[in-house]
Structure 1
Amino acid sequence: MTITQLITFVFLGIGLSFDSFAVSVSCGLMRREIKFGQAAIVAGFLAFFQALFPVLGWFIGEIVKDLISSFDHWIAFGLLAFIGGKMIVEGVKKDGSLTNFNPFRLRVLIGLSIATSIDALAVGLSFGFLDMPILFPVAIIGFVTFVASMLGMLFGKNISAKRSHQSLILGGTILIAIGIKILAEHLWF
């Protein structure tokens, strides 16, 4: 593992965690009385699913990589650019409405965890296409998501909902930049 790979995985974890961060901010806004143990459960679910989905995507990518090895870097770039673009669009939306929900209900918690982890599935798929190792990036993604989710709930108690939209824009930009890096490495290096 090179320092460049480590930095890339950390930035990937940060980029992927912005959806979870935004959800956590919403949880903090809606449940300002949230206790540390409750926050840890919510963050744990979000981090677990965020770490699980790249593994699922990686297995799928490993199965089909030989079929698409000549253009896999374009697929990885396309997936990351699409996800990043989607996050930026969500961040730009000005609706800012928060519905009253209970993030401690298992059904809600699993739904939020899956919804915030779909992009991680695509990243795992990219890893499978590119024949990249999965365990270290998954550990980083899970850890970063847990920390970001805990911070999000803390911030949600203390900041306005407008900032959660800005975090989606930043996360989307990071994912697009990683996609460009992957494309550049395969085309020119």
Structure 2
Amino acid sequence: MTFIATLILAFGMSMDAFAAALGKGAALHRPGLKEAFRTGLIFGVIEMLTPLIGWGIGLMASRYIMAWDHWVAFVLLTVLGGRMIMEGMRQTAGEPCEAPQSHGFMVLALTAVATSLDALAVGVGLAFLQVNIVTTALMIGMATTVMATTGVLVGRFIGPVLGKWAEVLGGVVLIAIGFTILSEHLGIFA
């Protein structure tokens, strides 16, 4: 695989993380560079590890992983998105509530895992190609770190415009990503 092909793969793999981080950034109260980079790093490390895990699993279990990865991603993203929508609706229904300064590690890690399950399947596929999996995984991780960090920072500007509805929109984005992953794997809109 050429450097350009690997770079395109890396940024392609990071688009779900960008969309999720955009929603996360919009739901926060003016996230700074430190919080954006923290989010980007969590997403990037997890996105880097999943193709390595997929590579390790290889041919023997590929059909089982590919059969279920989209369902796992769909359920995780729907649950996380539903939780965000409920929290956002609770804020809009009651008295004004200050947006959080940061998201908890587990919430970010679960979101990152859900958006990176496709990278696990890609890792399985890469096991059959002549690629340096470490270099490829590092590029995927770095691209995801950049894209998720950017997503949080862009979300910072969207959040104040949307006000209390930012978290609701973030939840809708996560659920939409889940439905997209599921529909792509099931060939619904193919």
Q: TM-score, with normalisation over the residues of structure 2?
A: 0.62
Q: Distance in 2 between matches of 1:116 and 1:128?
A: 21
Q: 1:128 Cα shift?
A: 0.7
Structure 1 residue 36 corresponds to structure 2 residue 33: yes
Deviation track 1:98-133 (CA, whole Å, cap 9, x = no partner) reads 524866212212211211110110110000123432
Q: 1:141 Cα shift?
A: 0.5
Q: 1:27 Cα shift?
A: 1.1
Structure 1 gaps of 5+ residues are 69-74, 176-189
SS of equivalent residue, structure 2 residue 127: helix
CA contact (8 A) 1:57 1:125 kept: yes
SS of equivalent residue, structure 1 residue 33: coil
SS of equivalent residue, structure 1 residue 130: coil
Call closer, same or farther: CA 1:6–1:131 in 2, change over 3 Å: closer
Aligned pairs for 1:124-163 (under 5 A) are: 124-159=123-158
- Percent identical among aligned pairs is 26
Aligned pairs for 1:69-80 (under 5 A) are: none
Q: Distance in 2 between matches of 1:109 and 1:133?
A: 28
**Alignment size in residue pairs:** 145
SS of equivalent residue, structure 2 residue 157: coil
CA contact (8 A) 2:22 2:152 kept: yes
Q: Distance in 2 between matches of 1:30 and 1:19?
A: 17
Q: Which residue of 2 aligns with 1:111?
A: 110
Q: Distance in 2 between matches of 1:33 and 1:156?
A: 9
Structure 1 residue 10 corresponds to structure 2 residue 7: yes
Structure 2 gaps of 5+ residues are 89-99, 163-168, 185-190
Aligned pairs for 1:86-105 (under 5 A) are: 99=85, 100=87, 104-105=103-104
CA contact (8 A) 1:51 1:141 kept: yes
Q: Distance in 2 between matches of 1:138 and 1:106?
A: 22
Q: 1:156 Cα shift?
A: 1.0
Q: Which residue of 1 aligns with 2:60?
A: 64
- One-letter code of the match for 1:27? K
